[in-house]
Each structure stands twice: as structure tokens, then as C-alpha cells.
Amino acid sequence: MTSTAKIEYLGHKGEGVAHIDGERVFVPFALPGEDINLTREGERGTLVEVLTPSADRQAPFCPHYGACGGCQLQHMAPEAYRAFKTSLVETPLLQAGIDAKVEKFVDAGGAGRRRATLHARKDAAGYMRLRSHDLLDLDTCPILVPALKPASDIARAIGAMIGPCDVSLTATNTGLDVSVKSSVKGLKGDRLIALGNRFRLARLAFNGEMLFLAQMPRVTMGRGDVELPVSSFLQATSEAEQVLADYVTSAVGKAKSVADLFCGVGPFALRLAEKSTVFAADSDKPAVMALDKAVRYAKGVKAVTAKTRDLFREPLTRFELNYDAVVLDPPRAGAEAQVKEIAASKLKHVVMIACDAKSFARDAALLVKAGFALSDLVAVDQFTWSTHIEIAATFRRQNP
């Protein structure tokens, strides 16, 4: 049954929110101020027709938008889009008791995303449909870098060969790095080897095991050349990596010794080492080994000590934090255990990069309570047209 409603505001997932019969209803692709026709199932609404379009509405550029669940915000004009993304950073901070404003919003989409994970089946490959576990068969995805144009064809060929699986693709300096994951018991990936040659891949892996290698996938980071481990983490766009690295090196300034915690394969450590000695730690052993190898072959960098360490269970203690500055770049869960040790230490300078606004706000509140002041808050938008945002911030301990 179709009903009419007015959209009042946006939820944190970018959905328009209306109140119907005293209940909140979330409607994707609807904007504040719009009168719409919708169908409703509980708190989920489906947009049928926009009766009075918002001035902030624009035409999406992707023909799959609305069916594909990959993007949520292509219908938003630039100014409204930036305001919404900025609110994703500021609102959780305010809820945590910190009244801080985003000082700069950086569009870091660059040439597009250099990595993507597609779902594949025997007869299709793509992303899931909106609010569904049904697969949308894609010909191409316009938000990916040109090198990933054949991503759908590659995933479709893999799915046709082995059935249901997830196909992760990364564009590197030496070609496409492809990693396939399947939960089908007893399935062997050997039959996929031929696809490595067919699509001229750099590397092909199946459930963490390398099947095919033409060239080691490499990515340049500062003065280092990093050989990527299978399924390793990499910022979604090279533009975002550079923007975040520039922020980190500038915020660290003249610090002679720096701890880079949750360092990954070293996008910050390798650049920081041009001016500072660096202690780098992460729980991902292959990533730490890749960083260590890159350091050994890099020219013009200072000493980097790279260690495997689970910073959730074994954070650097207050007694170990004898550095001029610490850089934190944790996963979505944040760095609560490590931040508590920092709060109890004598450390005066922290630079934090975060990919989850709520855990960032929680960790920021712990630092502020311990006497740190938050400054230089920046929103870095690499997951364009989605509800994800990267955050960069600097914390300096105030004199007692």
C-alpha cells in the first residue's frame, strides 16, 4: 500500500527519515523537505515517487544506482553531500561531550577506488542489491580506477568455474592482485590457475594460498616499494593514502622519534622515516614483514623497527611510550586499550587516523579527559557516495 510522507532529516546511513503514525520510517534516496510516496514495511520505507524534489537533489551518474547497494548518496548535490559527511564526524563527537568542528573536508576519491570485492555466482558477479542478499550482475562499476574495469569479467569467470565466492581485486604497480574466498567445503582452487594467464593477473590466490604469480604486487609508499601480502589492507584510493600520509607527516612535525601503531604495510612509517626514527607495530604479521622488507631496500630513510604485536591485547604500556609522538591508525573497533595507556603516560603528542566515527569519538573523549586538546580535525572522503568517512585529528597534552 502506498502512502505519502514528508522527509524530516537524514539518518546516519543517509536514509531520509519520516514519522508515520508516530513511528520513524527510513527511506533510502529521499532528502529532507521532500514530500514523497512510499511503501512501508515496519521501519523500512521504499521510495515510490518524489512529489516535491529538494533543491539538494541531483541526478545520479551510475545507471545501476538505486538497485545496487554499493552507493547511497549519488542523489545528493555537492554542498548537501559535504554537510552530511561532515555531520558523520561531528555528531558522534558532540554525543561524547566534544564540541569540535571539521576544519577541512577533502575529496580523496582521486581516480577511483583501487580495490573492490565482488560477490560471484555461477552466472553473475557484482554487488548485492540494496537491502538484499540478491546479487546484482554488473557490467562495470564507474567508481573504480580504470585498471579495475575488467573486475566484473574476472569475478564472473571465477564464479562460473567454482560457484559462490568473494573476489577481491587490487590494482597495483605491477598489475591486478586477485584473492578469492570460498566457503564451499572440499573445493580446490587449482582450476583457477589458467585464469591468471587469461586475464594477465599479477597474482591469484585462493583462500589465502597463492596459486599463480606473474609479478609480485607492489605499491610505492614514500621512498619504499612494498610487496603486498595476500589479502592485505590498503587504503581504498591512492589519493586518500597520500592525503592521510601528508596529514600525518605534517602533524608529527619535527618529532625525532615516532611510534606508528596499527601500522599495516607502512604507508605512514615509510614516509615518517624520511625524517624520524620509527617504531612500527601491528598484529598483521605478513604486513609487518612486508614493511620490514621495504625498509631494507629503501634509500634515504632512518631506522624503522617493525614488530608484530596485538595492540588490542598487548598495547604499548605507559612505560614504553617514550616517543616524541605517536600515530594511531586503528581498524573500525578503534584503539581503546592503547589510548588508555597513552592517557596514563607522559606522552604529549598523538596523531590519530580513524575509519569509524563512533569509536574515534570514544577514543578522543578518553584523550581529552586525560588533558589532551583536539585540533586540526579533517574529514577525508575516499569512499565517495557512501556513508563512510575517514577522520584525521591531532591531540596535544595541555600543560597542567
Question: Among all residues, which ones are annotated catalytic?
Answer: 355
Instruction: Look up residue 91 and give its three cell numbers.
Output: 555528531
For residue 97, give the amino acid letter.
Answer: G
Write the DSSP symbol of residue 192. G
Give, rounded to a whole angstrom, the gap between the first and last alpha carbons of the chain: 63
* DSSP three-state, residue 84: helix
- Torsion sign across C-alpha atoms 70, 75, 78, 83: negative
Write the DSSP symbol of residue 215. S
Write the DSSP symbol of residue 144. B
- Torsion sign across C-alpha atoms 371, 103, 241, 154: positive
**C-beta separation of 64 from 136 below 8 A:** yes
* DSSP three-state, residue 225: strand
Exposed / middle / buried, residue 181 (Cβ in 10 Å: 0-12, 13-18, 19+): middle
Write the DSSP symbol of residue 147. G
Write the DSSP symbol of residue 363. H
